[in-house]
Amino acid sequence: MLAVLSVVAPVFVLIGAGYVAVWRGFFTAPQVDGLMAFTQRFAIPCLLLLAMARLDLAAGFDWRLLVAYYSGSLLCFAAGVAGMRLWLRRGAEDAVAVGFAAMFANTVLLGLPIAERAYGEDALAPIFAIVALHAAFCYLVGVSAMEAVRAGGAGLSGGVRAVARSMSRNPLMIGVALGLAVNLSGLPLPYVLEQPLQLAATAALPAALFGLGGVLVQYRPEGDWRGIALCVGIALLLHPAWTFAMGRLLQLPEDAFRAAVLTAAMAPGVNSYLFAAMHGRAVRISASSVLIGTAASVVTVSGWLLVL
């Protein structure tokens, strides 16, 4: 147990430091927003570019890994929608927003640093394969569903176009695409480019974790507590449990299996709140799920690490 705590504690202590720094006024909210802009628009794209450029594509993009993880994502989305509609009797648009929050795990800011501390840098290749498709997949499902609901079922093509436009301008997706281009070209990155990219990538995750803590100060645990419990329970329990079962069924190699389950165990990401705010639906539930899910994942992620 102490070994597990030594893995997760530094990550969550850094998040807590960011939370306390903003809560006590050592950092202002605009300063943290600037830090997050740096990490999400520059440092993390640099990290993803280097990771994808160096990734063994044949080994990283194992179809069994993607099926195990993303079938769980679809299940979580469906469970969130069904729970909101059938249990809480909420509208279809609120249901889609909560389904998106239940599906959108914090793969980058939590998944990567925890996996690196648990299994080492060499074990990150399967997680980078998941990350490469994560935002595009989740937004495709979420936006298409929301457009279809709002258009009475006729908005699917509009949702696909909206996702394509958004992803083409997303810095994370641009970093992934550039890294894949370098990888497929077979050409090495020039030293004069690789070293600055490496410096930025080294700063990406620590800065992002501190910034995430500062951002969480803005979220208050308010709204429908049953909706929050539904969303957090699906994200922290159902997703990793399904991925665990599917990984064993598909006989995933051990390193890919651990990566898939651990990534699936992450709390809802900040994009969950952004999606809800963009559509004006279930905003308080989504924001509270990010905050409470991140706090609760200290326990649940430790439990999954013990299982793995």
Find the domain containing 138 and state its range.
2-307
Total domain count for the chain? 1
243 Cβ contact partners less than 8 Å away, ≥ 6 residues apart: 68, 69, 72, 260, 261, 264
What's the rounded Cα separation, in Å, for the pair 295 and 266? 11
Number of C-alpha atoms within 13 angstroms, CB side, residue 210? 16
Q: What angle do CA 168, 165, 72 make, to 5 degrees?
A: 80
Chunked mean pLDDT (size 10), the chain, 308 residues: 67 87 88 86 87 76 90 95 92 92 89 84 83 84 82 58 69 84 85 89 86 81 83 95 95 91 91 82 86 88 86
* CA distance readout (Å), 207 to 83, 109, 169, 211: 36, 10, 23, 6
Give pTM, 2 decimals: 0.84
Query: Which CATH number is 269's domain given?
Result: 1.20.1530.20
pLDDT in tens, 260-298: 999 999 999 888 887 887 778 888 888 888 888 888 888
